[in-house]
Amino acid sequence: MNQVKALISAKKDYFTGTCHSDFKDLAERFSQFQDMRPKNGGAALAVFFKGEPVVDIYSGWAGAEQAWQAHHAAMCYSTGKGILATLAHIMVSEGFLAYDEPLAKYWPAFAQNGKKHLTLRHVLSHQSGLFDIRNLIEDAREMLDWEHMLDVFEQATPRFEPGKDNAYQALTFGWLVGGILEKATGRTLAELMQHYLVEPLELDFAYYGVPASRMPEVAQPFRNPNRVKTSSSQSTSSKAKQRKAPWSEKVIEWTGQDPQDFKDAMIPKGMKNFSFFQPEALQAVIPAANGVFTARSLAKIYAMMAAGGQWQGHQFIRPEVFQQLCRVQNYKRDRVMPIPMNWRLGYHRVLTLGKQVKKGFGHIGYNGTGAWCDPKRELSFAYIHNYSIGSITGDYRLWALTQETLRCADQVLRGRKGWF
């Protein structure tokens, strides 16, 4: 109830940037969410509609004493998976890869231990069986070494026969997709990003591994002000008590899934001493988790996807490839995610508070960032922030902002906003 009161009384003009009048309600809702927690961090929101930027706004703080500016980017966790998948589809369009060819054709050492027939389609749709990171490495810091991690996956054994089940590759996705892109093209992931996405789309900030010179532009995470520090005596006492399962584990148990699958996919050993926000982690290549983007870069990539894989006369993705990438691969229950994801090739369904987006797809991140497109509405969206939160299904702000974006677009397209 207190949050509802805070939302109602929050400012509607607490943002900087540009917003088309058709999306004024969206900007006001963004402002209210930001004003509710002005000391907790900052955020940015970008929307393209019918090929034009209609929202590019930001608010709050990028650091303890630094206001969020137009150039600020943020670490987006799994939101970056959608961009990596987009790069893979471009490589398919360019003829470097095929969805149903064994990865071993391009990466011979990958054929070991039951992976001889594993394909790009298996990986992009989370059907590879290679979701378990916890039992592949002994310490989370191993993730900082790109070449080492590629070697790890050459030796890895799938937990189930590829194509026979679904299990979200929360961390492993990045090395699997990024690795095959490098092996098939002979170029580094950074080179591929620059040549096939950053330069032709004129993106201002999009990296898996931030160059040292651009680190000052990355918004820093804020500590959760509601988290109470415990004394050493309290810590000792709590350790003696039986460990209580976090809410995420409880949700998974309620759905009838095995919490161990969740842990194996999400939590490498040694994570207590590792942070994706450490400078060395931000500068490493961990594509499933540490993509750093501005909201406008994410929204522009998805604007190209909303236009069917082309942008300003440049065909990034062939029509026949585009038809495949946005098709739901199956409706099997995922072993890791507690809600239906409707996996496409590298993307999941658009999560809303009611609106239907049957042709839409995108990806959210663990911290509640997200980006998506809807080709039917010619609409794309991206939301980034540096709040200290975590959710496997997205922060409530992401869902609400997505809903309001769709409502504003429908007012233009249909003459009414509606809720469904």
396-414 and 24-36 helices cross at what angle (nearest 10)? 170
Length of the chain: 420
Whether residue 383 contacts residue 74, with contact meaning beta carbons closer than 8 Å, is answered with no
Looking at residue 228, what is its pLDDT?
43
Domain boundaries, the chain: 2-71+292-308+330-414
Q: Who has greater pLDDT, 71 or 221?
A: 71
Looking at residue 159, what is its pLDDT?
97
- Given the DSSP bridges, would you call strands 16-19 and 74-75 parallel, antiparallel or unpaired? unpaired
Q: Is residue 231 scored above 60 in pLDDT?
A: no
Question: Which of the residues are catalytic?
Answer: 78
Q: CA–CA separation, 156 vs 114, rounded Å?
A: 9
Average pLDDT for residues 212-222, to the nearest whole number?
A: 95
**Would you say the pTM of this structure is higher than 0.85?**
yes
Alpha-carbon 125 to chain mean position? 15
* Other beta carbons less than 10 A from residue 256's beta carbon: 8
Whether residue 81 contacts residue 174, with contact meaning beta carbons closer than 8 Å, is answered with yes
Report the DSSP beta bridge partners of residue 361.
Answer: 373
Tell me the two tokens of residue 129. Answer: 């069986």
Q: What is the mean pLDDT of the chain?
A: 92
Report the DSSP beta bridge partners of residue 66.
Answer: 63
Q: CA–CA separation, 205 vs 385, rounded Å?
A: 15
Q: Is residue 265 scored above 70 in pLDDT?
A: yes
Q: CA–CA separation, 34 vs 18, rounded Å?
A: 16
Name residues whose C-beta falls within 8 Å of residue 328's C-beta, 6 or more positions apart in sequence: 342, 343, 344
Tell me the two tokens of residue 253. Answer: 């148990």
Backbone conformation region of residue 15, classed left if phi is above 0, alpha if psi is from -120 to 50, else beta: beta
Average pLDDT for residues 388-395, to the nearest whole number?
A: 77
Tell me the two tokens of residue 295. Answer: 């909201």
Whether residue 125 contacts residue 234, with contact meaning beta carbons closer than 8 Å, is answered with no
**pLDDT confidence bin for 255, thresholds 50/70/90:** low
C-alpha distances in Å from residue 101, one per residue of 110, 116, 322, 345: 13, 10, 18, 15
Handedness of CA 262, 264, 265, 271 (dihedral sign): positive
33-65 tens-digit pLDDT: 988 776 789 999 999 999 999 999 999 999 988
Average pLDDT for residues 157-179, to the nearest whole number?
A: 98
Looking at residue 95, what is its pLDDT?
98
Q: Is residue 342 scored above 90 in pLDDT?
A: yes
